[in-house]
């Protein structure tokens, strides 16, 4: 999807005629050496996926506030003698929800499913965006408590509460945007991360998983007549924001071409 966007930019601006986006499979232990080589070879930027997102935090010369709060870096930009570390996942999540569901995070009640790295980035974005309340549900209590402790100093006056996975509907918020930040749904036989029928009312459902395009959580949302979307929009918008950081071209300009290319590659 990046190369599709770059091809479009090159047609209008010769500055981008030689720009290309390459995939590299780098073992975790080789990440410092790989990033050093990329600096030497003149790379303008890098995207990182797990487990490199956390490993790179200690390898950058500058760390953007959003990346520091999320504890993860997914985008690097050449800066002076080193790399500047940023995180565009939160932007991608907010833009994906707005674009596909027409909903903003500001003033919204959010139920976040999961307490891992993806959930941390999502939670930070919800708080930075000014959500009205954030509820977090996770099957492993120790991971949940760890995330809540991390979020406490970032919450300000926003209520951040734990949600019992086995609790009754009576103690759960109504009208919330439910966001799945777990890996449950990547396989066809995965159980859904939560039973949507166990909530007194759900405003919308957003599953950060984009492949497969329809998880069991989204299937239940459809059965219940709830607005829902998968994570393709998040994938596209986090990538478009990274490209904006490297090129200076607004993400809104490249996102349509990137979405079309990603959907085609995924067989949507």
**CA–CA distance, 183 with 116 (Å, rounded to integer):** 10
Mark whether 53 is an active-site residue. yes
Backbone angles phi, psi at 233, to 5 degrees: -60, -40
**CA–CA distance, 266 with 79 (Å, rounded to integer):** 33
Structure-token match 């949302």, residue found: 221
Q: Pick the catalytic residue: 2, 53, 128, 259?
A: 53
The candidate with the shortest Cα–Cα distance to 123, out of 173, 164, 51, 180, is 180
Q: Which residues of 117-139 are buried (b: 16+ CB within 10 A; e: fewer)?
A: bbbbbbbbbbbbbebebbbbbbe
Q: Are 108 and 177 in contact (CB under 8 A)?
A: yes
Backbone angles phi, psi at 11, to 5 degrees: -70, -25
Q: Give the residue numbers annotated as catalytic, written as ranges.
A: 53
């Amino acid at each position: 999807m990046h190369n599709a966007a770059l091809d479009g930019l090159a047609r209008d601006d010769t500055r981008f005629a030689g720009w290309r986006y390459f995939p590299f499979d780098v073992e975790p232990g080789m990440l410092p050496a790989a990033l050093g080589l990329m600096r030497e070879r003149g790379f303008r930027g890098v995207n990182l996926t797990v487990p490199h997102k956390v490993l790179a935090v200690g390898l950058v010369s500058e760390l953007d506030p959003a990346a520091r709060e999320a504890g993860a870096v997914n985008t690097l930009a050449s800066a002076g003698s080193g790399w500047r570390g940023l995180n565009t996942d939160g932007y991608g999540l907010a833009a994906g929800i707005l674009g596909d569901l027409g909903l903003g995070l500001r003033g919204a009640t959010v139920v976040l499913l999961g307490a891992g790295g993806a959930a941390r980035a999502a939670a930070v974005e919800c708080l930075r965006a000014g959500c009205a309340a954030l509820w977090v549900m996770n099957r492993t209590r120790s991971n949940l408590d760890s995330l809540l402790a991390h979020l406490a100093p970032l919450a300000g006056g926003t209520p951040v509460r734990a949600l019992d996975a086995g609790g009754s509907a009576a103690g759960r918020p109504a009208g919330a945007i439910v966001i799945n930040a777990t890996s449950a749904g990547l396989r066809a036989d995965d159980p859904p991360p939560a039973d949507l029928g166990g909530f007194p009312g759900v405003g919308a459902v957003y599953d950060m998983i984009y492949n497969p395009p329809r998880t069991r959580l989204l299937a239940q949302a459809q059965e219940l007549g709830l607005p829902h979307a998968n994570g393709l929009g998040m994938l596209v918008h986090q990538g478009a924001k990274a490209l904006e950081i490297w090129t200076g071209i607004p993400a809104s300009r490249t996102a349509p071409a990137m979405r079309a290319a990603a959907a085609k590659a995924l067989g949507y």
